[in-house]
Structure 1
Amino acid sequence: MDERADQIRDYRDLIVWKEAMEIAELVYSLTRAFPREEMFGMSSQMRRAAVSIPSNIAEGFGRAQRRSFVHFLRIAQGSLKELETQTLLSGRVGLLSAEQTADLMTRSERLGKRFVQFVRSLSQTENGE
């Protein structure tokens, strides 16, 4: 599905939202294995960042204004970058395996590219291009 604003019926149809939800599910699964002392540390931080991504996509869509939607997509992009940093740190300190880190980073980078393309297409549509 093309994610152009004039063709979107519901945020749950968006590829960026679906991929963000998959990442959030994965983060919850991975952080269940973190040590108990990380419950209020890295585990909590990663979960909050991961949940923020699809939540901001949904909130922005719900505002029903393209400019506001783009603003919330950019906030979601920021949360994705937070999650990437937390993922890399978790790998460095041994909370995630190299394979888990690589998988989560690959998914995050793919979603990040989708965000850039989607925001660009919404901005071009808004500017009449």
Structure 2
Amino acid sequence: MERFEETSVGWANDFTELLVWQKAHRFVLNVYHFVEGFPARERFNLSDQLRRASVSIQTNIAEGMGRSTKKELIRYLIIARGSTQEVKYLLLLSRDLGYLEEPHYIALNNRINEIAKMINGFIRKL
């Protein structure tokens, strides 16, 4: 299989070697931590949607890396990029509803913006 993204050690053979995937994974862990503080009534609503949208980013990167062509990889990266925008809105909504404090919102929003930029850069490289 072709190696699609340069890493600090050469070209990635596995999605776990991708810096963008690693950052997305850490982001998901942070999201899971913060949604634990959401009200119980949001357990199957906003908190669940935020978790699923966040996980979608890294799962689409991983699935794209498992595909056999660059065209397929790009398609999954575009889906991952779309999920970053969904997450951005859900973070904003969480903040506006008072579930996410401003400093935490800013930190998470900065991270998701960085991930979106990295995905865009990855797509451009292909």
Give the alignment's TM-score, normalised by structure 1.
0.89
Q: Take 1:76 and 1:105, find their aligned partners in 2: how far apart are those partners?
A: 16
Q: Take 1:7 and 1:32, find their aligned partners in 2: how far apart are those partners?
A: 37
Q: Does 1:67 align with 2:86?
A: no
User: C-alpha offsets along residues 76-113 of structure 1, whole Å, 9 cap, x if unaligned?
Assistant: 00011100100011101101000110000000111111
Q: How does 1:95-106 map to 2 (within 5 A)?
A: 95-106=99-110
Q: Take 1:62 and 1:73, find their aligned partners in 2: how far apart are those partners?
A: 12
Unaligned stretches of 5+ in structure 2? none
Equivalent pairs, count: 121
Q: Percent identity?
A: 37
Q: Take 2:47 and 2:113, find their aligned partners in 1: how far apart are those partners?
A: 20
Q: Take 1:110 and 1:50, find their aligned partners in 2: how far apart are those partners?
A: 14
Q: Take 1:3 and 1:102, find their aligned partners in 2: how far apart are those partners?
A: 29
Secondary structure, in 3 states, of the residue corresponding to 2:37? coil
Q: Does 1:9 align with 2:9?
A: no
Q: Take 1:44 and 1:9, find their aligned partners in 2: how far apart are those partners?
A: 32
Secondary structure, in 3 states, of the residue corresponding to 1:94? coil
Question: Which structure shows the bigger proportion of residues in helix conformation?
Answer: 1
Q: Take 1:11 and 1:65, find their aligned partners in 2: how far apart are those partners?
A: 15
1:3 CA drift (Å) = 2.2
Q: Take 1:64 and 1:99, find their aligned partners in 2: how far apart are those partners?
A: 41
Give the alignment's TM-score, normalised by structure 2.
0.91
